[in-house]
A and B are shown apart, each in its own frame.
Chain A
């Protein structure tokens, strides 16, 4: 049994909140550069240049790239040979979020109750997903998620007969309906299969895959490429003001499902496709 202390988890989560909000992965920056090279619309190119300048400035100065610093989504891959000591794991994660958002001057965007809507003032609680895996390490990923893109997400329980065509239609409809709201160019996370709750999780998980990495199954890799082309053919463009680049990537995550159904979910991410990971 390897011991990991809650104090270390608090520190790690806190610094990941700061880093994720000010620094994008090189994969996202590279995809945005590629988008600028391909974009045909002058307004679209101007927007992409502003986005790239913005993200470089935020990383240099260690300030948030967007004022919506999101709700913190935290993914843990917890080795089964790890023993968490010195406190409560969930509380440690929330304490990390609290410290990161308060000390880092990040915006507090969480209300304690969906109907009564009083701000918790420290951006807690986080949305936490824990997966137990072999080994004695703890992998922590913090993915701050803004409202503009999250609100444009959707889920449907399609019949098996909907097939590949049904999946395409559903994804394209969501991107078209979302228009400028999720701050395109977007990353489109698609969950396919599993059941009602699993498919939403898959769509979110799809957003963590590095841009430029295709699905390992060539069948889905092809589908991802074709969907990306079809989305970009919608013409929505950067910020929805028209252009050739509406999405930077489409990522599909798949899971077996029941013989009677074909659940599908779309989780949108904005160009501020934020996530940072640390391994303890």
Chain B
């Protein structure tokens, strides 16, 4: 178990390897498909983004509604591949880590190596538990998107697993291969 504070430095990222279990603390941004599309549209138009991405972490999540008094509703990861087309331009601007679930496209994997960044998984369906590690949440852009708005979270010991490191490792491939006991079905 490694503890890391966000924003991440280049050295933090170089040290990470697939299968590392991390506890993240600090600021993390949330965005899903719709918010990603808006960010990438701004980049294409050469306009400033609502956040500086250097060293930052984006968590792919669309939380359930918060109850009165609660910081945020249950907030587990959503499937990451929907963000794949928008991801390389964000990595080019210094984004260092993404948290979601499920495999990424070859383009994203190549961009992780090129721009020295990592992709991590949070446990899908552990939304109640993960929400307990979120200490503050505020919408900082795109409130019209509701659950998909761009939020700034402050997390404490938020548990994630490194799936793709910046050295080309891929835990979806390596993990299944390690525990497989048969030939492939095709």
Contact = CB atoms under 8 A, between A and B. Distances in A.
Interface of A: 40-41, 43, 46-47, 50-51, 53-54, 57-58, 61, 63-69, 105-107, 146, 148, 169, 172-173, 176, 179-181, 183, 230, 233-237, 239-244, 270-272
B186 to A, nearest CB: 7
B73 interface: yes
Interface string B117-138: 0000101111111101000000
Contact of A233 (B66, B101, B126, B181): B181
Contacts of B129: 50, 53-54, 57
Contact of B161 (A43, A105, A107, A272): A43
Contacts of A105: 64-67, 73
Interface stretch (B5-13, B41-49, B86-94, B169-177): B169-177
B119 to A, nearest CB: 12
Nearest to B1: A46
Given A50-B123, A54-B126, A69 B64 contact: yes
Chain B interface category by residue count:
35 or more
Given A43-B19, A244-B179, A107 B62 contact: yes
A171 B181 CA distance: 17
Interface string B150-181: 00000000010101000000011011111111
A234 B103 CA distance: 17
A270 B125 contact: yes
Q: By DSSP majority rule, is chain A's interface helix, strand, loop, or mixed?
A: loop
A54 B127 contact: yes
Contacts of A242: 171, 174-179
18 contacts: A40-B179, A53-B129, A65-B128, A67-B61, A67-B64, A68-B127, A180-B101, A180-B121, A233-B182, A234-B176, A234-B180, A235-B175, A237-B179, A239-B161, A240-B103, A241-B161, A241-B175, A270-B124
B63 interface: yes
A63 B161 contact: no
A206 to B, nearest CB: 20
A179 B163 CA distance: 14
Nearest to A64: B74
A67 B127 CA distance: 6
Contacts of A237: 175-176, 179
Contact of B172 (A53, A107, A241): A241
A52 to B, nearest CB: 10
Contact of A169 (B61, B103, B180, B185): B185
Contacts of A58: 74, 128
A234 B178 CA distance: 10
A118 to B, nearest CB: 13
Contacts of A234: 176, 180, 182, 185
Nearest to B132: A57
A67 B185 contact: no
Contacts of A69: 64
Contact of B126 (A50, A61, A146, A180): A50
